[in-house]
Amino acid sequence: MPLVLPPTVLGFYLLVAFSPSSSFGQWLDETLGLRLVFSFGGLVLASVIYSLPFMVQPIQSGFANLSGSLKEAAYVLGKSRTTTLFKVLLPNIKPSLLTGIVLAFAHTIGEFGVVLMIGGNIPGKTKVASITIYDEVEALNYSAANTYSLILFIITFIILLSVYLINGRYTLLKK
C-alpha cells in the first residue's frame, strides 16, 4: 500500500495517528513517552513505513532466484527454519539485501511529502535537505538550492555506483 499511496496522503494520516489528540497518539505519549509528531524520531519512523516496501521487492526476487532445493537440503540435514534462514538463505542473497537497503536509503534521502507532513520542517530539528531545496527555490535563492541539489546528486550517485561495484564483484567471485 505505501508503494502506491501518495506520500502526502500517507504523511497526513500518520500525522493524524501520531498526534496526541488521537487515541493512538495519546497512548504512545502516555505509556511510551513518545511524541512522534514534529520530531526527528517520528520523521524516521514515518520514513521507515514509507520506504520499507522498496526493500521488499529486491529481497523477494532474491529469494525467488534461489534454488528451492537449498532450503530442502538444509531441512533434510536436520536444520531448523531459523538456522536455514540465517545460515543458508540470507547469506546467499547478499546482493539483493544490499540492493534493497540502498534503494530504501536513497529513496528516503529524497523523500519530501511524508517528511514535511510529519516533521513539520522545523529548522535544526526536522528540516531535511530535500525540503530545504524547495524552500531556497521559493525564496529565489537559486545558488543555495543548487549547492544542496548537487550534494544530494553526488551522494546518490556514489551510493548507486558502490552498489554496482560491490554486486558486480560478488557475481564475478561467484563465477
Partner 1 sequence: MIKIQLHKRLHSAIGKMHLDIDLDIEPNTFLTLYGKSGAGKTSILRMLAGLMEPDSGYVQVKGNLWYDSKNKINNGPQKRSLGFVFQDYALFPNMTVKENLEFALLKNQEKDIIKELIEIIELGDLQNRKPTTLSGGQQQRIALARSLVQQPEILLLDEPLSALDQEMRQKLQHYILQLHKEYKLTTILVSHDVPEIIKLSDRIAQLEQGKIIKDGSPNDFFNKNNKVQEGEVIAVERDGDTIILTIRIEGRQIKTKIPASQLPF
Binding to partner 1, residues 116-155 (CB under 8 A): none
Rounded distance between C-alpha atoms, residue 31 and residue 45, angstroms: 18
Q: Which of 21, 23, 69, 82 binds partner 1 (CB under 8 A)?
A: 69
Rounded distance between C-alpha atoms, residue 69 and residue 51, angstroms: 32
Is residue 67 part of the contact set for partner 1 (CB under 8 A)?
A: yes
Nearer to partner 1, 21 or 175 (CB): 175
Question: Among 48-56, 83-91, 115-123, 150-158, which window interacts with partner 1 (CB under 8 A)?
Answer: 83-91
Please, what is the angle between helix 129-138 and helix 142-174, to 10°?
Answer: 150
What three-state secondary structure class fits 33? coil
Question: Among 69-77, 103-111, 131-139, 159-167, which window interacts with partner 1 (CB under 8 A)?
Answer: 69-77
DSSP 112: -
Rounded distance between C-alpha atoms, residue 116 and residue 126, angstroms: 8
Is residue 169 part of the contact set for partner 1 (CB under 8 A)?
A: no
Question: Among 86-94, 122-130, 141-149, 161-169, which window interacts with partner 1 (CB under 8 A)?
Answer: 86-94
Question: Measured from the CB of residue 80, what is the shortest distance to partner 1 in angstroms?
Answer: 7
Question: Measured from the CB of residue 175, what is the shortest distance to partner 1 in angstroms?
Answer: 7
Is residue 171 part of the contact set for partner 1 (CB under 8 A)?
A: no
**Residue 155 contacts residue 128 (beta carbons within 8 Å):** no
What sections of the chain are H helices per DSSP? 7-18, 23-27, 40-65, 68-76, 81-83, 94-109, 113-119, 129-138, 142-174
Nearer to partner 1, 75 or 112 (CB): 75
Question: Site residues (CB under 8 A) for partner 1?
Answer: 67, 69-70, 72-80, 87-88, 91-92, 174-175
